[in-house]
Amino acid sequence: MSLTVESAGWTWANGTYVAVSTHEDQAVYKNPHGFLLSYELDSTWQGWVLGFAGHPLYAAPVCTGPWRVVPGWGKEPPPTVALTADAVDLAASCRADASADVRAAANVDAEEARATAAWNLDRAVDALAREDWSSLEEHLSCASKGLAGEAEDSALQVELRALQCAAVEGRMGALEGDDADQGLQEPKGVTEATEADGGRPRALTKAAEAMKEGDRSREEGHIFKADEWYSAGLRMLSSFDATADTLRCSLLLKRAQVLQQKWQHKEVLTDCRSALEICTDDKRQELQLLAAEACKSLHDKANDTGEATTSHWMQLAVRYLESATGPGDHALQRRLRSWRRQLPPRPQPVPMPPFDWSTVPMAEKARYFGDIRRDDD
């Protein structure tokens, strides 16, 4: 049995879903990227849900739609889902028994839900100690569902968030330390090994995996996790020379984009400058535009707070935008003209007022213009 999802705003949510398990006697479908699709019944919802990592992205109250975007999680446009006949029959039978199931779900004791969540948190701690990432993700997802109605400042919610952060840090640590645990040391600037013979340096492979994890976190809206993954990838490349510049440039660009979302404009400028020193491809214009936007944001901030560095940041912004603007980039040219009008006026030389130099003694005049000593003096 399989389902087909198309046209979703989250591009990785598209594709073919196959039945992989059951949840409360209902089939759960999964695509190659880990997105899940299932028919849910509880006290507040009856219908299809498409989600990832325990977060609902899209929902439909009936099997044939219309699908809608879950605010705060999904991304426009909503998907179109083609269900097999078996899946349609399953949804119909679910709806037939919905009233009884919803009433039963409404009578579930809240304390029992909290106890189940606490049990899952305990198992998550054990999984974290074993570095069993799959089990850890499963227990955290179950705990998150059990604490859906819990206050954000409750002890269980605080523990859940702490474990989620620890899970990310643990996975990155395992990714970075895999080579060291096996006693492998990659020589600096390894170029002999090739992908053809399966000898690509492990550190480069791990850095590329960290970049993919960062991209996944970014698509899910977790920009802080994405920042951590990109930074981990850059640390893995610290022992490599120019042979890893292509991957290093991509990581710097992606981290700068995330930092811009976090309003860390000075760090954005630092990453852009580092990347521009090593990038020679089409990423240069994107880096220059990003650096220009960061400098413009720093100018606006300094202007609001009355700092004396406003002209410095605006001059830098114009300089980077000039580098990124080509002859046919009319939109960028209009922006450049607008930014140039915001530059402070250039200092103008002050003309010397009229003065009668005949009244000044020769020695004083020489001292004013510079005392020139000749060889015959």
> Which tokens in the block code for residue 348?
């103008």
Domain that holds residue 22: 2-108
Does residue 220 sit within a domain? no
Does residue 22 sit within a domain? yes
DSSP collapsed to 3 states, the chain: CEEEEECCCCHHHCEEEEEEEEECCEEEEECCCCCEEEEEECCCCEEEEEEECCEEEEEECCCCCCCEECCCCCCCCCCEEECCHHHHHHHHHHHHCHHHHHHHHHCCCHHHHHHHHHHHHHHHHHHHHHCCHHHHHHHHHHHHHHCCCCCCCCHHHHHHHHHHHHHHHHHHHHHHHHHHHCCCCCCCCCCCCCCCCCCCCHHHHHHHHHHHHHHHHHHCCCHHHHHHHHHHHHHHCCCCCHHHHHHHHHHHHHHHHHHHHCCCHHHHHHHHHHHHHHCCCCHHHHHHHHHHHHHHHHHHHHHHHCCCCHHHHHHHHHHHHHHHCCCCCHHHHHHHHHHHHCCCCCCCCCCCCCCCHHHCCHHHHHHHHCCCCCCCC
At residue 156, the pLDDT reads 77
Q: How many other CB atoms are found less than 10 A from the CB of residue 155?
A: 10
Mean pLDDT across the chain: 75
∠ Cα 166 175 269 (to 5°): 80
Please state the rounded mean pLDDT for residues 233-260. Answer: 84
Count of domains forming the chain? 1
Tell me, rounded to whole angstroms, the distance of Cα 169 from its chain centroid: 15
Q: Which of 70, 71, 60 has its CA nearest to residue 95?
A: 60
Does residue 68 sit within a domain? yes
Alpha-carbon span 95 to 84, nearest angstrom: 17
Does residue 24 sit within a domain? yes
Q: What is the pTM of this model?
A: 0.45
Alpha-carbon span 255 to 230, nearest angstrom: 6
Does residue 142 sit within a domain? no
Please state the rounded mean pLDDT for residues 103-113. Answer: 54
111: Cβ contacts below 8 Å, ≥ 6 apart? none
Does residue 235 sit within a domain? no
At residue 97, the pLDDT reads 47
At residue 24, the pLDDT reads 64
Does residue 51 sit within a domain? yes
- Looking at 153-167, 232-246, 289-303, which range is the least confident one? 153-167
Does residue 65 sit within a domain? yes
Say which residue, 127 or 51, is predicted with more confidence: 51
pLDDT(59) > 60: yes
- Looking at 104-108, 113-117, 371-375, which range is the least confident one? 104-108
- Looking at 38-42, 185-189, 262-266, 272-276, which range is the least confident one? 185-189
